[in-house]
Amino acid sequence: MAKLRVLYERFTSCCGCQLSLLNCEEELAALAEGVEQVAFPMASSAPDDGKALDVALIEGSVSAPEEIRRLMALRRRATWLVAVGACALSGGINALGSVDRGILCARVHGEGGPCLEVFPPQPLQRFVTLDLHVPGCPPEAGELLGALGALLRGGLPALPDYPVCMECRLRENLCLLKERQLPCLGPVTRAGCQARCPSVGVACEGCRGWAAEANRGEEFRLLLDLGLGEGEIRRRMTRFAGGDHETSVS
């Protein structure tokens, strides 16, 4: 079996998605047998050879013209372009700030510092067609490995599209939304995390994006019943919605 030529690119992000893969220490040796690492910032200092790719894994949101150019170039080179993590899928944590970008640059670089050519962070799908999304903040290690395994065999992985609530029930958790009156987004959030946060009593924040056929209107009503204001509910429900603030909660 020919090795997959794989490149890992990072845009505006915290590098947590890369760490999720690198922390799979027991599996990396076996993975390396089927993968030719073209470039991977946290794993190697080897430069990109610029040749065609089988897979381009991309973490982070796009927030600068240079990142758009790099993204477009990778789309032309790669057979499969894979968005890894919430920032790549929706803008993630990076997209939460509403402060003027010039003000943020001044805070970081000081008055009179370099004026960077940046814009509010955007998900990858605003600029290119994606072949696969691996959700999460950060993604689950098993999903990353499963995605690479499926691609190695010429196909795409079957990622869950049912809600986190299903995983809570399988783990026999108390319902944080109904029984503890916490603003949990488990009913509308895509599963795959094994209900990691609700299992320790933390309400789901929706970092994996919408579940298929999510009843967002009913979730909105349930959160209203908890006493949350409409503005707060919209902020919570659009946090990882890819910037679709007008329609994502209707």
pTM for this entry: 0.86
Q: Per-residue pLDDT averaged across 218-242, rounded?
A: 91
User: 116 versus 127: which is more confidently predicted?
Assistant: 127
Quick check: 58 pLDDT over 70?
yes
Q: Per-residue pLDDT averaged across 178-206, rounded?
A: 96
Side by side, the strands of the sheet bearing 4-10 are 35-39, 4-10, 53-59, 78-84, 132-134
Final residue of a structural domain among 117, 152, 187? 152
| Residues sharing a CB contact under 8 Å with residue 88, sequence separation 6 or more, in sequence order | 11, 13, 17, 58, 59, 60, 61, 123, 124, 133
Residue 157 lies inside a defined structural domain of this protein: no
At 49 the pLDDT is: 93
Domain count, the chain: 2
Quick check: 243 pLDDT over 50?
no
Residue 246 lies inside a defined structural domain of this protein: no
- Residue 83 domain boundaries: 4-152
At 248 the pLDDT is: 46
Final residue of a structural domain among 131, 152, 173? 152
Final residue of a structural domain among 152, 181, 200? 152
Task: Out of 54-58, 97-101, 185-189, 190-194, pick the least confident.
Answer: 97-101
At 98 the pLDDT is: 59
First to last CA, the chain: 47
User: 117 versus 152: which is more confidently predicted?
Assistant: 152
- Residue 195 shares a structural domain with residue 120: no
Tens of pLDDT, residue by residue over 136-187, are 999 999 999 999 999 999 999 988 989 999 999 999 999 999 999 999 999 9
